[in-house]
Structure 1
Amino acid sequence: MPASVEEVLLEDNEYYRISNCSLTEFLEPTFIESFVKNGDVYCLSDRNCIIQNCAAVTPNGVLTLHILEFIYQTLGLEGTKRPHNYYEVSIDLKKLRHTDKLRNSLKKLEYFDFYISWEPRNGDICPSSIAKYFNDRNITVTLCTLNVKKVTPTICEIPTVHDTDVEEMVEWVGLLAHNVDFSETENYISTYSPPISENSLKSTRISVLIVKGLFTPTTIVKACKNLSEYVASRDLENYWTSISVQSWEDSPWRWNVGSPMMFQSHDSTCNIFFTHSQNILYSVGQLKYS
């Protein structure tokens, strides 16, 4: 695995879990001035959005609430009807109005556990400042570490992106991540065959790095840039690299540019293949409940 890619994904990507936190904490002037207006906040409740109230703070400074209808009716907030008896409430933290009314409404909701990460605009400020802020307010803060696994699958050859179907390549990479046994076996009713590639690389060396955690778009963009540059530096014909980004299941999600972003339980992945001549994007997803 290229050292530059490992470095981007594994270094300085800590995030935090804050426990038993009231939503009113996000209305505090110090929080808004120090973090919302001076960087990008990524904050997501650790909840099942099919059966529970959920909340998120996104980098645009908006606090989004996903509230069960019978609870929403008691809050006195303005919201938008969403599927499955939910209402969505959007609060622009940079343009707060009627703060006292908002605070009283949010106090009626239960406490939440959140995963949170902050990217300051000023490089001299430490991202961990947000953890110190909540800790100083007597909220339990836990440092979350990345779950890292390296896989070196046993293969006979490597199919190329140019002469295979992208869906088959995505499936093959997924099987590599699970370190499946590709050795030939007897025929069964259900069998798997690797993609057939006329220009396959006659190599048995392939590396897979699996990292689980909360990543910001900034980190993903850097990783993609490094993968693309690494491919360009290799003099081997038909060489390729790829990245697969799995979404957080119970998070605000937008299926396409024309649809609204909302909480919906989903299973989605974005796959990008980098070659000398092009980058190929393949995304697939499904709602887990509809």
Structure 2
Amino acid sequence: MLCPEVSNFPPPKVVSSYQKFDNLENVVEIFKMNNFYKSLIVTCPDELQIPSLIEECVSEDCDYYKVSNCSLAEFVEPVFIEKFIKNGKLYCLSADRKCIVQNCAAVTPEGLLTIHILENIFQTIGLEGSKRSHNFYEVTIDLKNIKNLDKLKQSLEKLETFDFYINWEPNNEKICPSSVARYFFERNISVSVHLLENKKVTPDIEEIPAVKDTDPEEMAEWVGMLAQQADLSPKETYISTYSQPESDCAMKTSRICLLITKGFITPTIVANVCRNVQSYVTSRELENYWMSVSVQSDENSLWQWYRSSPRMFQAHDSSTNVFFTEDSLTVYSIGQLKYS
């Protein structure tokens, strides 16, 4: 038998928030506060197919690229900065890394290269940085205003090479986003193209709870259970104590469809999905009708909990759930640090 003190671990630190808006752009700004997402779920009640305009947001022109064995010095090359940093929005994140034990890096749309470096390595490269938790330092380089380029390149070349996920949104619509892939290819750096993975789920349900008389946390959990195709009415409470939300205004329909998208997802993609979801909701004349968009963060990315808090690499889980009705938008967010 385990000693009770051995298994008495403290609960993880959880951050949650609940907000209500009548303006979609306020919601879009919440997603723009961070840059790197790994999954998106659209829940569409009273339908067996996702509306085509919504599905096209995650199926057309959503390619992203994986660059392998790339030195950070590549991002400070004047030609690269002129073409891709100053003339578009670059989303770039080190791939397949654990920021609690490994060096990580990211380039964000405002043109900042952020490097998350173990302390013993930081002390050897000759760059200025800020102390972070778990024996890490953070170095931030403004790529639009580089000084002492040669010295900076020498420092960056001391670090190991990285694999990166990259998405570039050019300012000029006539320029192809794949130009960034061609740039790395011409510099003899391995590049592969990737598509967002889409999956549709049509769970078996009896009715659909209404947003207006159901707790947002319960609604977000219900959508998660549907996405996982979990048992909504478990008979054995020892294994699962889950119970569905109770709603007096529930929609009496057994039709529901979910679109689950996974990959390297940018705020622009999320914003396009949200705009089309809102448009579809306002076109429906069914009483208490709603749709939702749920977005999950990349666990090993730069992350900012609030506008007043610093953006830094931290091992975390975070999801933002937006429920669209005809006259309002309800946002429920929850997240936790994996290591406090």
TM-score (norm. length: structure 1)? 0.98
Residues 194-223 of structure 1: CA distance to partner in whole angstroms, max 9, x if unpaired?
Answer: 100001000000000000011221111111
In structure 2, give the amino acid aligned to 1:21: C
Alignment of 1:33-44 (within 5 A): 33-44=82-93
Residues 76-106 of structure 1: CA distance to partner in whole angstroms, max 9, x if unpaired?
Answer: 1011111111111011110010101101101
Q: Does the C-alpha gap of structure 1 residues 186 and 18 become closer, same or farther in structure 2, counting only changes over 3 Å?
A: closer
> How many Å separate the matches in 2 of 1:261 and 1:141?
28
- 1:225 is matched with 275
- 1:106 is matched with 156
Q: In structure 2, list runs of 5 or more residues that go unmatched.
A: 1-49
Q: Does the C-alpha gap of structure 1 residues 184 and 18 become closer, same or farther in structure 2, counting only changes over 3 Å?
A: closer
Identity of aligned residues (%): 61
- 1:86 is matched with 136
Residues 108-162 of structure 1: CA distance to partner in whole angstroms, max 9, x if unpaired?
Answer: 1000000000000000000001000000100000111212111000000000000
- 2:196 is matched with 146
Q: Residue 205 of structure 2: SS of its match in structure 1?
A: coil
Q: Residue 214 of structure 1: SS of its match in structure 2?
A: strand
Q: Residue 124 of structure 2: SS of its match in structure 1?
A: coil
Is the contact between residue 153 and residue 180 of structure 1 (CA under 8 Å) also seen in structure 2? no
Q: Does the C-alpha gap of structure 1 residues 93 and 184 become closer, same or farther in structure 2, counting only changes over 3 Å?
A: closer
RMSD value over aligned CA atoms? Answer: 1.0
TM-score (norm. length: structure 2)? 0.84
In structure 1, give the amino acid aligned to 2:331: L
If asked which structure has higher relative contact order (CA below 8 Å, sep 6+), I would say 2
- 1:29 is matched with 78
> How many Å separate the matches in 1 of 2:145 and 2:211?
48
- 1:11 is matched with 60
- 1:201 is matched with 251
How far the C-alpha of 1:188 sits from its partner, in A, is 4.0
Q: Residue 231 of structure 1: SS of its match in structure 2?
A: helix
The answer to whether the aligner puts 1:255 opposite 2:305 as a matched pair is yes
How many residues in Structure 1 have an aligned counterpart in Structure 2? 290
Alignment of 1:164-203 (within 5 A): 164-183=214-233, 185=235, 187-188=237-238, 190-203=240-253
Q: In structure 1, list runs of 5 or more residues that go unmatched.
A: none
Q: Does the C-alpha gap of structure 1 residues 217 and 198 become closer, same or farther in structure 2, counting only changes over 3 Å?
A: same
How far the C-alpha of 1:34 sits from its partner, in A, is 0.4
The answer to whether the aligner puts 1:96 opposite 2:143 as a matched pair is no
How far the C-alpha of 1:48 sits from its partner, in A, is 0.9
In structure 2, give the amino acid aligned to 1:255: W
